[in-house]
Chain A
């Protein structure tokens, strides 16, 4: 990854894609005790954030709140400049459609639908059309994800890596403007991890990036994607991410860019940069 191309600058004067102001973040399910306090975070268009933290630090909750899937306990939350807490119904749905999310464990595929149907469902739902109308598009996405061989399989037959890949393709097929990825490399073998890093490099650099070419229909592929990744291993992301944040002690902290993260003296950052401990 050392030959990564220079990243294009985000458009000037564009409002942040996501903005959290003094937000208290809790898990869903009616939890009232925050896992993170006083989070103030702005994600600019075209940026690539990597949020590091040990397991249990609140990464998933932060990402789900930023994506509008959970509501913050306190504080302001704006998505594409609109106050999400004040919106309801179709306006909220419309904003959320501009956000893609790839979950961590199990990738949360629909267990009763095949891989093909998992990818086609959101396209058919939002396009109000039958499968025939999106068949070419779905085939293109299956190809982009190297999933053609599994098209008719139910998710239960796939291993974790392939399942997560289906979840990524399913999210990308809706051509979101910002993509949240919750620990996408966790438990992947080196070959799968390399595929992910290659694809995300392509998304982060826009059309100037190298193949794989992705079958976007609208303008989603013309600009660099806004990407937010949560991870407990910063190592693989150092060359790819542009801004880094740390979650520790119920707090969110902006660590800075690549230079700052690689030279950070904070032992918590060093711990996340170190290779995972192996059994002796």
Chain B
């Protein structure tokens, strides 16, 4: 009898510890954190696979409805972000690129301008800054829209009308953001390179435009173009899948929408940085 009641008390203690909002120890905290991230990662992977499955199996379903949605997402995540990206490209060109060009020329290392530009702007800053803009301006809106729709039961209404929510809501966003981030990255890189030269020109750096662009062309390889396309589209896909997952994957109350929005932003940012690190390994291996 005593043994039995002791076991019951032990189980109750464990349950109370798990339910407690405050961790009882550091190991408890780390354990919870790991379990939470493992669980989220598993759900995210399943969601991504479902999205891929729907994308492949329903590519010819309801095209008259889904294609305009894809175009709308490209406009929303790409075209409407162009002024912001152009401003950032200009600012970055002036602040970073122009100064780098001026410094390299001052120390007589102007033959490294192309390599530095390609490494910094084309490979790293271009895709990452563009992804950040799309995440903040479109990703946030996506989680809020989908989370609110989930909380108000609109997803069940779609299902009741025989409309696949993943096909109608997620697929256009994934395709739209992938294309938009890729296109915006290209514009960002061009803007940064041009404004960078403009800054150097204004500082009377003795570097002719022909030399500047020749060095850039020499530093670029075909792998840069392929990896840039893969990386920028990858960032778009990551942002779309994570924001849609956080908004849709589990039942929400309206009050939880702000919580999942923050969670989606952090998770997207971390995943983009991890993906960036993965591409860095590929660049180093080239």
Contacts and interface: CB of A to CB of B under 8 A. Distances in A.
A69 B64 contact: no
A167 B157 CA distance: 9
A242 interface: no
Contacts of B157: 103, 108-110, 167
A129 interface: yes
Interface residues of A, number: 32
Contact of B156 (A97, A99, A108, A130): A108
Contact of A93 (B148, B152, B164, B168): B164
B182 to A, nearest CB: 27
A170 B158 CA distance: 11
B211 interface: no
B64 A97 contact: no
Interface string A114-146: 000000011011101110000000000000000
B152 A111 contact: yes
Nearest to B251: A29
A112 B153 CA distance: 14
Contact of A122 (B61, B153, B162): B162
Nearest to B157: A108
A10 interface: no
Given A96-B162, A128-B65, 14 more contacts: A28-B251, A93-B162, A97-B162, A103-B157, A105-B153, A108-B157, A109-B157, A111-B152, A121-B161, A125-B62, A125-B65, A128-B61, A130-B64, A171-B161
Contacts of A128: 61-65
Contacts of B149: 110-111
A59 to B, nearest CB: 16
A109 B160 CA distance: 12
Q: Most chain-A Cβ atoms within 10 A of its Cβ — which of B153, B154, B157, B251? A: B157
Contacts of B156: 28, 64, 69, 103, 108
Interface string B40-78: 000000000000000001000111110000000000000
Given A29-B251, A106-B152, A125-B168, A67 B160 contact: yes
Contacts, number: 73
B159 A69 contact: yes
Interface string B142-171: 000100110011101111111110001000
Contact of B163 (A111, A112, A125, A167): A125
A75 B251 CA distance: 24
A122 B163 CA distance: 7
A203 B57 CA distance: 36
Interface size class of B (residues with CB under 8 A): 20 to 34
B154 A110 contact: yes
Given A28-B251, A111-B152, A111-B154, A170 B61 contact: no
A125 B160 CA distance: 13
Given A121-B163, A124-B64, A108 B153 contact: yes
Contacts of B159: 69, 96
A252 interface: no
A108 B154 contact: yes
A26 interface: no
B160 A101 contact: yes
Contacts of B160: 67, 69, 96, 99-101, 103, 108, 171
B54 to A, nearest CB: 10
A174 interface: yes
Contacts of A122: 161-163
Interface string A214-238: 0000000000000000000000000
A69 B160 CA distance: 7
23 contacts: A29-B251, A69-B160, A101-B160, A103-B156, A105-B153, A106-B152, A108-B152, A108-B157, A110-B154, A111-B149, A111-B154, A112-B145, A121-B163, A125-B65, A125-B168, A126-B162, A128-B61, A128-B62, A128-B64, A130-B64, A167-B157, A170-B161, A171-B160
Interface in A144-190: 167, 170-171, 174
Contacts of A112: 145
A67 B162 CA distance: 11
Nearest to B148: A111
A232 to B, nearest CB: 19
Given A108-B153, A108-B154, A126 B251 contact: no
Contacts of B63: 128
Contacts of B161: 121-122, 125, 170-171, 174
Interface in B237-255: 250-251
Contacts of B168: 125
A116 to B, nearest CB: 15
Interface string B249-265: 01100000000000000
A130 B163 CA distance: 16
Interface in B164-207: 164, 168
A171 B163 CA distance: 12
